[in-house]
Amino acid sequence: MTLAVNILLWLVVGALAFFAAIRGRVLLNNGARDGAVEFILLLPRIAIGVIGSGFVAEVLPKALIAPWLGPESGFTGVVIATLGGALTPGGPVVGFSIGAAALKSGAGAPQVIAYSTAWALYAIHRLLIWEVPMMPARVVWLRAAVSLPLPFIAAALAMLLAKP
């Protein structure tokens, strides 16, 4: 699985590099450089998040997570997870670290999906910091309002399509 994903990704990289090379050597060099710089800047955050979430999961009170967010928690668990997602501040490292740690400590997959979907769609700080300054406020609130049911729909689909 991991190998197949890797091969597919690097085929896409190869194809894009080929098209860039056709349009000129400068474009090829710029693309490779931009991608590499982005990667180097991301490394410390991802390292801290991934390595840290293993330890955080180990110290999380499993006795609390399982009943509130475990696979048996059902709809209540999805509601708690959605609220948690909406109130989680911070960048991608924070939301994904918490989600991964919860999953490792016994939270159910649909509940984790509700959490990360809610956090991605309407974490309050993100609406205020990013979206409101760059878009008409009317569109931002409309988008947030129609996004409200989406974590529940994602969790419901996750319960239907049982994890392979």
Partner 1 sequence: MNETSPPRRRRRAFDWSTAAIALCAVAAAATVYWRDGAEHFLAIFGSDLTLFGEMLPKVLAGCLIGAFVTLLLPRELVARWVGHESGFTGLAVAAFFGFLLPGGPITIYPVAGAFLAMGADAGAVVAFIVSWTLIGYTRALVWELPFFGADFVIWRIVEALPLPILAGVLARIAVRAGFAREPGDQ
Calpha distance 65→61 (Å, rounded): 7
* Span from 63-71, 74-82, 150-158 in contact with partner 1 (CB under 8 A): 150-158
Q: How far is the CB of 16 from partner 1 (least distance, A)?
A: 4
Q: Can you tell me which of 25, 51, 61, 63 binds partner 1, judged by CB under 8 A?
A: 51
* Span from 66-74, 76-84, 136-144 in contact with partner 1 (CB under 8 A): 136-144
Quote the strand ranges of the chain, DSSP E: none
Calpha distance 122→127 (Å, rounded): 7
Q: Can you tell me which of 65, 78, 86, 113 binds partner 1, judged by CB under 8 A?
A: 113
- Asked whether position 76 contacts partner 1 by CB under 8 A, the answer is no
Calpha distance 122→65 (Å, rounded): 23
Size of the site for partner 1 (CB under 8 A): 82
Judge contact between 92 and 130, C-beta under 8 A: no
